[in-house]
Amino acid sequence: MAATMSTRSLESLAFVVSIAVASIGAGPAGARAQAPAETSGATYTAPLTPWGDPDLQGFYTNKDENGIPLERPGEYDEQSLAEVEDSEFADVVRERNERARERASLIGGAETGAGPVHWYEHYDAQNSRPWLLVDPPDGRVPALVAGASPQAGFGGARRPGYGPADSYEDRSNYDRCITRGLPGSMMPAIYGNAYQIVQGPGFAAIRYEMIHETRIIPLDGSPHLHPSIRPYMGDARGRWEGQTLAVETTNFNDRSAYRGSRADALRIVERFTPTAPDTVLWAVTIEDPTTWTAPWTFAMNLTRDGTQQVFEYACHEGNRGLENILSGARADERRAAESGPRP
């Protein structure tokens, strides 16, 4: 990734040591959260803003959700989320963290100066669940529609007939420091897992640390933008469903449609449900009838942390990272040309 380390990296050791991140119910390491269907009857009631909406404001992190696979792993083929024993899950979390610690020292490699392992937030995560996908119940992304061929990742497919680094246009939106897209901007990563929710009468906003975007979400019942207007993060409209903030996003850009779905058919509905004083369940429903045979939903925890803030993310298109990706590709091509065709 061409993104540079944020200012946050320089303070990460003190940050990681000082914060206390709680999972649902403030349970012990490895304790599991409930799936969205199981929390629908939750009794927790969030405080209200002065204008009467549930108050979700604050700084959040989902670093503890690092390492959770999207789909149900094969070892759980015969189990549902509710059937995974806490002791079994605690062992799985320990194994995930061991693997993450082993990989942390390799991030960036010795040549890039990516930094010591204490800069990273993706190990020692206290996962809330064994996998993220909660619907369909089998924990698998639904089958593709016949003829659909989405490509996973940020930024869509590269230009046909071009290499991975012929031009800046061949790099992903993430490499170009434009966006991680939706829901990518709130997916846990090795660092930069801070988010701020701000509310006002008729509006909510979410600020993301990594790549430093802000989504403005009208809550006034106004219609979506004209279909010809397609921002990288799509066009969001929100509403309250009791304690839950539901955010529907459409009008996606071709280069930022999730997992290569069709921008003009993709609809994403996020639900932010407070389940405890310091925990919000973030459930995301993906719907594109031209790509998948059914909608599907995944969920994870966002944990409020009053000691946290959104740091500057010093990443911009045209910085050294992107320049070096392209110049490195040209150097590879020169070496290949000089060595001649392989026998």
Sequence-distant (6+) residues with CB within 8 A of 205 are 197, 198, 199, 214, 215, 216, 217
What's the pLDDT at 108? 58
d(CA 135, CA 183): 16
Residue 295 is predicted with a pLDDT of 98
Residues in the chain: 343
The beta-strand segments (E) located in 133-220 are: 133-135, 194-200, 203-208, 214-218
Q: Hey, where are the domains in the chain?
A: 7-339
CB 208 within 8 A of CB 188: no
Mean pLDDT value across the chain: 81
Q: What is the pLDDT of residues 116-162, one digit of tens each?
A: 666 777 778 889 999 999 999 999 999 999 988 765 444 444 555 56
Given this model, what pLDDT does residue 115 score?
61
- Yes or no: say if 180 and 195 are a contact pair by the CB < 8 Å rule: no
Dist. CA 218–CA 17, nearest whole Å: 37
The DSSP-derived string for 66-97 is TT--SSPPGGGTT--GGGS-HHHHHHHHHHHH
Of residues 183 and 311, more confidence is placed in 183
What predicted TM-score, i.e. pTM, was given to this entire model? 0.81
